[in-house]
Amino acid sequence: MTAAIHGCSLALAHAPDLVRHGSKPTREDAADEIKPALRTFEEALGYPPHQVFIGNLAPGALWEIERPWWKSAAEPKAEGPFGVFVAQEELYSRMAAADQFQLLHLDGREATNGALPVYRNGRRAGVMDRAHELDESLSAGVLLENLACKATGALALEHLLGRTGLPAEDLPYAIGCGEEAVGDRYQRGGGNLGKAIAEQAGCVNASGSDVKAFCAGPIHALVVAASLVSSGVYEHVAVVAGGSLAKLGMKFAGALRNDVPVLEDVLAGLAILVGPAGTGAATIRLDAVGRHRVGSGSAQQAVLEDLVVEPLGRVGRAILDVDRYATELHDPEITEPAGAGNVPQRNYRLIGALAVKRGELEREKLDDFERDRGLPGFSPTQGHVASAVPWLPHGIEALRSGEIGSTMLVAKGSLFLGRMTELADGMSVLLEPDA
């Protein structure tokens, strides 16, 4: 059986009062410093990259909008063909609904005994309690992160089920692919938020598990899901993830230095439905999966040769035989003020340079590769969320309409951050129209 992607939904939740609880703002006690640079809901909603994220604008529209994008305003629609944008109040309501252990209290009480204060419009709204006085994995801060992740992942999954028409009770399996660590002191990342998200979305007959691979997690999970479907184990599998609260405000210092608003003020969720081929669904080429091998080393050229050149060569394709590449789609207006440059642009130049080296692309056309075969960055910088997936719903429609004949999702990860290996990571997969 051939596996295919039946739909992808993306969700954004505005969370300005949670930015203070991001890892870097917390470490630097920067809540007061950040507060004047936070956006209103209307400003965040009309931000052009956010409208691209939920499908109300095509990615290519960003090439034509003068930067800085944060000074421009797209038509502020809270719903799009590929997802939704919700206000902080709805996020809080969804977090409370997902809190089965009654640890989140939005009743104005003060923080005591290890609880974490939670704010609304800059004023104390309540607390997140810890679940154990000695277990760091059950501290209030970690639980708040995981609860936000569960709520945003469920929001995306609910949208996906509604959009594809699959009844919630008919989903048999969900794979979580976020970067959170759900567990306790005996198994700190033992987790399984995938199953918790499925439960929250009403998938009463689903089971699930999690796949972890830092930023490359979603593509690993997509390949696992496609393998389960193609082998007949499950008819449908959902790949799900919520946002990373720890990464809110991560690059706030660079933003403040350059008089830029703190754009890392949203949590993102994603959900992908994989099922049998047919009815126009985008085919997943499991014979063209790229993987970063242990022996390849971490040089960027070696990584991209593993992820792009090798899998394409396996099916008789060259770099220019792929119409559109999706890589790490980080919004450059977040990364550039922090000194990290334009991440997707850098990746496309590397892929284009590989094509030049292989004699597939004329050197004078290298500067055109980004626009011809790539995409502008438009994703929140939430690690796993930005890795190729934000293009997926756009790509599915482009494949279905015949606008493109192929697209490749290329994700990279930083395994060395966990201090257990010096390796990088990566996985890619080729998608084509329904045969």
For 162-191, the pLDDT digits (tens) are 999 999 999 999 999 999 999 999 999 988
Q: What is the mean pLDDT of residues 404-423?
A: 95
Residue 8 has pLDDT above 90, yes or no: yes
Q: Are 12 and 85 in contact (CB under 8 A)?
A: yes
Q: Are 355 and 316 in contact (CB under 8 A)?
A: no
pLDDT band at 409 (very low <50, low <70, confident <90, very high): very high
Residue 13 has pLDDT above 80, yes or no: yes
User: Mind listing the domains of the chain with CATH numbers?
Assistant: 3-276 (no CATH), 282-432 (3.40.47)
Residue 435 has pLDDT above 80, yes or no: no
Residue type, 264: E
Q: Are 245 and 128 in contact (CB under 8 A)?
A: no
Q: Are 53 and 69 in contact (CB under 8 A)?
A: no
Q: Are 3 and 274 in contact (CB under 8 A)?
A: yes
**In the prediction, which pLDDT does 345 show?**
97
pLDDT band at 367 (very low <50, low <70, confident <90, very high): very high
Q: Which of 233, 317, 177 is nearest to 3 (CA)?
A: 233
**In the prediction, which pLDDT does 128 show?**
98
Q: What is the mean pLDDT of residues 324-333?
A: 98
pLDDT digits (tens, 9 = 90+) for 91-112: 999 999 999 999 999 999 999 9
Residue percentage of the chain with pLDDT more than 90: 97
Q: What is the mean pLDDT of residues 369-380?
A: 98
Phi-psi region of 176 (alpha: psi -120 to 50; beta: other; left: phi over 0): beta
Q: Partners of 237 in the beta sheet? A: 274
CB within 8 Å of 83: residues ≥ 6 apart: 9, 10, 11, 12, 53, 54, 55, 156, 159, 393
**Average pLDDT score, the chain:** 97
Q: Partners of 409 in the beta sheet? A: 326, 429
pTM across the whole model: 0.97
Q: What is the mean pLDDT of residues 282-309?
A: 95
Q: What is each CA distance from 433 to 7, 119, 138, in whole angstroms?
A: 13, 47, 45
**In the prediction, which pLDDT does 1 show?**
84
Phi-psi region of 417 (alpha: psi -120 to 50; beta: other; left: phi over 0): alpha
pLDDT digits (tens, 9 = 90+) for 217-247: 999 999 999 999 999 999 999 999 999 999 9
Residue 298 has pLDDT above 90, yes or no: no
Q: Are 323 and 373 in contact (CB under 8 A)?
A: yes
Tokens of 265: 């003020």
